[in-house]
Amino acid sequence: MLKFKLARLRGPSIAETGLDLKLSATEVEPPSLEQPKSDKVALPGSFQATLKGRLKLLAPVLISVILSMVGQLILKRGMSDLGPVSFTTRSLPEIIWSIATDPFIIVGMVIYAVSVLYWLVGLSRVPLSYAYPFISLSYVLILGASFFLLGEHLSLLRIGGVLVICLGVLLVAFSNPSDNTNHTKGEGVKP
Amino acid sequence: MSIFFPILMSSILGVTGQLLLKVGMSKMGSVSIGGGGSRVVGLVRSLATNFYVVGGLAVFGSGVFFWLVALSLAPLSYTYPFASLSYALIAVTSFFLLHEKIGWLRLAGILTICTGVLLVALS
């Protein structure tokens, strides 16, 4: 219980931990190290080890959420540059060509594809009901981006809602992540 | 056509897509993205030939299509709160279909997130 309380105190710096994760993610160890009993993770004694274990476990999921947000922002920039899509002034092939050759769209799509890759890596390690709630962190990131990048005014209700979401995400993060799926363990199944 | 049809279709297809992705990735076992370009290419190749992963992405994509239809029929402020529906649906379907263990802590977290999403939607 003490562990959990400490975790909640450390909790509000979700954005920071997300950034830390990028560093640690570049040195993700080969699966051979993690393979043995990787479905029984992060149940160590000390709080530090717990936090570290959870962050490592969640790294691909969090990277995916951050990358998809970055991709969305770049896609939005590209589509804003192109202006409203009108089917009356231009033909469909022309529209598709202008979208497909826009540098912002291309970069945004590539980043989005990488985020899907990380999502799949995340799904290979943790249960779906554990990973999926972290998608709601996009609301937090949208709030940050609209405040810092777009200079929008934030309503109290929206800030409150995002804080409630953060609390929920922390609860999920500290729930037991061991994968208890009966149908498969994936061993020996060649894709 | 009722506005609920595309909204529900997008939620159901989105959740179905995620379930398929999860089944596909569980069959592959724990994978890693690090370790150089050739391994990433190998990973992408094994993903692209995984029936569940490809199917899941296709189903997920068709869910996005219905979401766009919903957006064209109703204002974003109306469709937005339905996003919280998928969090609840994922919890229910992972429990019953994937037989994942969902403890009280995770359940409370998911319900808290739904509340937060609704608050954001009201703002």
Question: Per-residue pLDDT tens for A7-27?
Answer: 444 444 444 444 344 434 444
Element (H, E) at A77: helix A47-82
A21, A26, A35, A123, best to mutate vs chain B, most B CBs in 10 Å:
A123
With CA atoms as reference, report the closest residue to A135 among A64, A186, A43: A64
Check A129 against B99: CB less than 8 A apart.
Answer: no
Q: Which residue of B has its CA nearest to A24?
A: B34
Q: What is the ipTM of this complex?
A: 0.87
CB A22 within 8 A of CB A63: yes
Q: CB within 8 A of A126, min separation 6: which ones?
A: A57, A58, A61, A177, A179
Q: Give per-residue pLDDT as tens, B62-76.
A: 998 888 888 888 777
Domain of B46 in residue numbering reads as 4-122
Q: CB within 8 A of B104, min separation 6: which ones?
A: none
Check A175 against B106: CB less than 8 A apart.
Answer: yes
Burial of A20 (0-12, 13-18, 19+ CB in 10 A): middle
Tell me the C-alpha distance between B106 and B110, whole Å.
6
What are A90's two structure tokens? 């231009």
Give how many domains chain B has, as a whole number.
1
Q: Give per-residue pLDDT as tens, A102-115.
A: 999 899 999 999 99
Q: How many CB pairs below 8 Å do chains A and B form together?
A: 194
Q: How far is B83 from chain A (nearest CA, A)?
A: 9
Kindly state the greatest CA–CA separation across chain A. 66
Is B72 within 8 Å of chain A by CB? no
